[in-house]
Amino acid sequence: MIQLGIAEDHILFRKELVKMLEDSGDFKFILKASDGQELVDKYKNLIVKPNILIIDLSMPLMSGTEAVKQIKQLNPSQKNIILSVIKDKSSIANAFNIGVNAYICKGEALLKDLISIFTKVNTNGFYFGNHKVKLNNEKKNWKKYGFIADFSLTHNELEYIQYAATELTYPEIATQMNVSEGVVKKCQESVFLKLEVRTRHSMVIKAISMGLLYAF
């Protein structure tokens, strides 16, 4: 059973979401709040913390962004998912940059999608969803991204970043790039060094915050 918490100022939406998820039999809500401040206050008093917090971005008293920041200070390992009507790239990038584990736009995910996303976040630690490259057979003109000179990213490194933001394994990334697994590993090492990150997860979050996954 995955334990959840939610901060949502629209009461009817919150009640319906809670009911649907609990009726699935996989989730139990142990924290419910109508704004960011109430979420933080209740979170502090919980002995057993939720596996995942579902947080609206725009709320009275305290925004979802500020709530995530304060929750992260209390518990850096807490998993947080933003569920919001706000869809602009800067808000999404900022949310990932402060450490959210997923960003879901309201109205764009069915119940079965939410169940899948929450389960993936609980298991894998993150879910990037549509905020990543969409794989297709079209050959990308990666050379046009050569203007990103501050990090001196090569053609292969830029391409690796796009595929690393998916759930592809390293052998599958190698197939997509039409290179060996050894080349993929070298790309990863180089990108980690240039972006000053240590994990694939943190690399993708930084790439999103830099706009590298929104370029096309």
Same domain for 112 and 176, yes or no, is: no
97, 33: one domain:
yes
For the segment 36-80, what is each residue's pLDDT rounded down to a tens digit?
Answer: 999 999 999 999 999 999 999 888 889 999 999 999 999 988 999
CA 1, CA 26: separation in Å to the nearest integer?
Answer: 5
* CATH number of the domain where residue 73 is located: 3.40.50.2300
Give the three-class secondary structure for 128: coil
148: left (phi over 0), alpha (psi -120 to 50) or beta: beta
- Could you tell me if 81 and 180 lie in one domain? no
Does residue 131 lie within any of the structural domains?
Answer: no
Tell me, yes or no, whether 133 lies in a domain: no
Which of 71, 89, 124 terminates a domain? The answer is 124
Q: Which of 68, 96, 124 delimits the end of a domain?
A: 124
pTM above 0.85, yes or no: no
167 and 71 part of one domain = no
CA distances from 149 to 146, 152, 161, 184 (A): 7, 5, 16, 21
Pair (120, 146) in one structural domain: no
Residue 113 has pLDDT above 70, yes or no: yes
11 lies in some domain: yes
Least confident of 29-33, 57-61, 105-109: 105-109
Report, as an integer, the average pLDDT of 28-32.
95
132 lies in a domain?
Answer: no
202: left (phi over 0), alpha (psi -120 to 50) or beta: alpha
CB atoms near residue 149 (< 10 Å)? 7
Indicate if 149 and 91 belong to the same structural domain.
no
**Residue 180, C-beta contacts closer than 8 angstroms, at least 6 positions apart:** 174
**Cβ–Cβ < 8 Å for 131, 96:** yes
Rounded to whole angstroms, how far apart are CA atoms 102 and 145?
26
Q: How far is CA 65 from the centre of its chain?
A: 13
**Intra-chain end-to-end CA distance of the chain, in Å:** 39
- Pair (113, 202) in one structural domain: no
Residue 29 included in any domain: yes
In terms of residue numbers, what domain contains 6? 2-124
Q: Compute CA distances 177 → 7, 92, 137, 187, whole Å.
A: 41, 27, 11, 11
Mean pLDDT for the stretch of residues 136-161: 60
- Which is nearest to 203 in space by CA: 174, 163, 169? 163
Count the domains in the chain: 2
How many residues does this entry show for the chain?
A: 216
Residues 6+ apart with CB under 8 A from 182: none
Cross-strand pairs, 32: 6
Q: Given this model, what pLDDT does residue 70 score?
A: 94
